[in-house]
Structure 1
Amino acid sequence: MKNIRNFCIIAHIDHGKSTLADRLLSFTGTTTAREEQAQLLDNMDLERERGITIKSHAIQMDYTFEGEKYVLNLIDTPGHVDFSYEVSRSIAACEGALLIVDAAQSIQAQTISNLYLALENDLEIIPVLNKVDLPGANPEEVTDDIVGLLGCSPNEVIHASGKTGFGVEDILKAIIEKVPAPKGDVNAPLQALIFDSVYNSYRGIETYFRVLNGEIKKGERVKFMATGKEYNADEVGTLKLTQVPKQSIKAGDVGYLITGVKTASEIKVGDTITDAVNPTQNSIDGFEDVKPMVFAGIYPVDNDDYEELRNSMEKLKLNDASLVFIPESSAALGFGFRCGFLGMLHLEIIQERLEREFDMTVITTVPNVSYHAFTNKHPNTVLLVNNPSDLPEPSKLNRVEEPFIKATIITKSDFVGPVMNLCIEKRGQITNQTYLTPERVELTFDMPLAEIVFDFYDRLKTVSKGYASFDYHPIGLKESKLVKVDILLNGQSVDALSALIHADNAYNIGKKMCEKLRQLIPRQQFDIPIQAAIGAKVISRETVKALRKDVTAKCYGGDISRKRKLLEKQKKGKKRMRQVGNVEIPQEAFMAVLKLND
Structure 2
Amino acid sequence: MLSFPIERIRNFSIIAHIDHGKSTLADRLLEMTGAISHRESREQLLDAMDLERERGITIKAHTVRLVYRAKDGQDYLLNLIDTPGHVDFTYEVSRSLAACEGALLVVDASQGVEAQTIANAYLAIENNVHIIPVINKIDLPGAEVEKTKDEISDAVGVDGDDSLLISAKEGLGVPDVLEAIVKLVPPPVTSPGKMLKALLFDAWFDPFQGAVILVRVFNGRISVGDRFKLFSTQKTHEVLSIGANTPKRISLESLGPGEVGFIVSGIKSVQETRIGDTLVLDSDPSPEPFPGFHEAKPLVFCGLFPTETEQYNELKEALEKLRLNDASFTYELETSLALGFGFRCGFLGLLHMEIIQERLEREFNLTLISTAPTVVYRVKVAGRPDDELSVVNPSDLPPAGQIDEIFEPFITGTLLLPSEFLGPVMSLCQDRRAIQKELKYLDAKRVSLSYEMPLNEIVLDFYDRLKSITKGYASFDYEWLGYRPSILVKVDVLINGEQVDALSFIVHEDKAYNRGKALVEKLKEVIPRQMFEVAIQAAIGSRIIARQTIGAMRKNVLAKCYGGDISRKRKLLEKQKEGKKRMKQIGRVEMPQEAFMAVLRVSEGSRDDG
String of CA shifts for 1:507-553, please: whole Å, max 9, x gaps.
Answer: 22112211222232344444332211122222222334445566677
- State the partner residue of 1:5: 10
SS at match of 1:2: helix
What is the aligned partner in structure 2 of residue 387 from structure 1?
A: 393
Match of 2:400, SS? coil
Say yes or no: does 1:52 pair with 2:62: no
Aligned residue for 1:371?
377
Whichever residue aligns with residue 87 of structure 1, its letter is V
Cα 1:504–1:321 shift into 2, 3 Å: same
Q: In the TM superposition, what is the alpha-carbon distance from 1:419 to its structure 2 partner?
A: 1.0
Match of 1:527 in 2: 533
What is the CA–CA distance in structure 2 between the aligned matches of 1:308 and 1:269, rounded to whole Å? 29
| 525-534 vs 343-352, which moves further | 525-534
Cα root mean square deviation, aligned: 3.0
Is the Cα–Cα contact under 8 Å of residues 275 and 295 in structure 2 kept in the other structure? no
Question: Which residue, 12, 22, 25 being the options, matches 1:17?
Answer: 22
Q: Is the 8 A contact 2:99 2:201 kept in 1?
A: yes
Distance change (3 Å), C-alpha of 1:546 and 1:124: same
Alignment of 1:332-351 (within 5 A): 332-351=338-357
Bigger shift: residues 420-429 or 240-249: 240-249
1:573–1:381 Cα change, 3 Å: same
Q: Of residues 583, 590, 594 in structure 1, which corresponds to 2:596?
A: 590
- CA 1:568/1:8 → structure 2, altered by over 3 Å: closer, same or farther? same
Number of the residue aligned with 1:127: 133
Report the CA distance between 1:376 and its aligned residue.
4.9
Find out whether 1:248 has 2:254 as its counterpart. Answer: yes
How far is the alpha carbon of 1:111 from its aligned partner? 1.3
Which residue is equivalent to 2:99? 93
Instruction: Show the counterpart of 2:117.
Output: 111
Whole-angstrom distance in 2 between the partners of 1:3 and 1:583: 71
Match of 1:41 in 2: 46
Secondary structure at the aligned position of 1:174 is classed as helix
Evaluate the alpha carbon distance shift between residue 355 and residue 130 of structure 1 in structure 2; reply closer, same or farther with a 3 A threshold. same
Answer yes or no: is the 8 Å Cα contact 1:63–1:70 preserved in 2. Answer: yes
> 1:171, CA displacement in angstroms?
0.9
Pairing 1:443-458 to 2, within 5 Å after superposition? 443-458=449-464
- Three-state SS of the structure 1 residue aligned to 2:179 is helix
Q: Which among 31, 39, 53 is matched to residue 36 of structure 2?
A: 31
Distance in 2 (CA, whole Å) between partners of 1:155 and 1:408 is 25
Q: 2:412 aligns with which of 394, 406, 411?
A: 406
Alignment length, in residue pairs? 598
Runs of at least 5 residues in structure 2 that lack an aligned partner in the other structure: 1-5
**For structure 1, which segment, 109-118 or 274-283, has the greater mean C-alpha deviation from structure 2 after superposition?**
274-283
1:434 aligns with 2:440: yes
CA contact under 8 A between 2:204 and 2:270: conserved in structure 1? no
CA distance in 2 between partners of 1:10 and 1:107 (Å): 12
2:78 pairs with 1:69 = no
CA distance in 2, matches of 1:454, 1:221: 48
Partners in 2 of 1:566 and 1:259 — Cα distance? 81
Give matches, 1:130-529, under 5 Å: 130-149=136-155, 152-153=158-159, 155-184=161-190, 188-276=194-282, 281-285=287-291, 287-301=293-307, 309=315, 312-378=318-384, 382-529=388-535
> 1:576 and 1:219, CA in 2 relative to 1: closer, same or farther beyond 3 A?
farther
- Counterpart CA distance in 1 for 2:247 and 2:564 is 85
Kindly tell me: are residues 478 and 392 of structure 1, through their superposed partners in 2, closer, same or farther at Cα, counting changes over 3 Å? same
Letter in 1 for 2:12: F
Unaligned runs of 5+ in 1: none
Are residues 438 and 210 of structure 1, via their aligned partners in 2, closer, same or farther at CA, if it must alter by over 3 Å? same
Shifted more, 438-447 versus 180-189: the winner is 180-189
CA contact 1:191–1:280 (8 Å) conserved in 2: no
Q: Distance in 1 between the 2:59 and 2:386 partners?
A: 41
Q: Distance in 2 between matches of 1:222 and 1:406?
A: 39
| Residues 270, 325 of structure 2: 8 Å contact kept | no
Label 1:168 to 1:187 Cα distance change in 2 as closer, same or farther (>3 A). Answer: same
CA distance in 2, matches of 1:259, 1:357: 28
Cα distance between partner residues in 1 of 2:364 and 2:281: 34
Greater displacement, 225-234 / 495-504 = 225-234
Structure 1 CA distance for aligned equivalents of residues 583 and 268 of structure 2: 51
**TM-score normalised by the chain length of structure 2:** 0.89
Give the direction of change, closer, same or farther, for the CA distance of 1:557–1:339 in structure 2 (3 Å limit).
same
1:247 is displaced (CA, Å) by 2.8
Distance 1:492 1:13, change over 3 A: same
Label 1:376 to 1:282 Cα distance change in 2 as closer, same or farther (>3 A): closer
Contact 2:137 2:168 in 1 (8 A): yes
Matched residues, percent identical?
A: 54
Cα distance in 2 for residues equivalent to 1:378 and 1:278: 45
Distance 1:160 1:343 in 2: 33
Shift of 1:310: 5.0
Secondary structure of 1:508 counterpart: helix
TM-superposed deviation, 1:31:
1.5
In structure 1, distance between residues paired with 2:43 and 2:192: 38
Q: State the distance in 2 between where 1:417 and 1:171 align.
A: 40
- Normalized against structure 1, the TM-score is what? 0.90
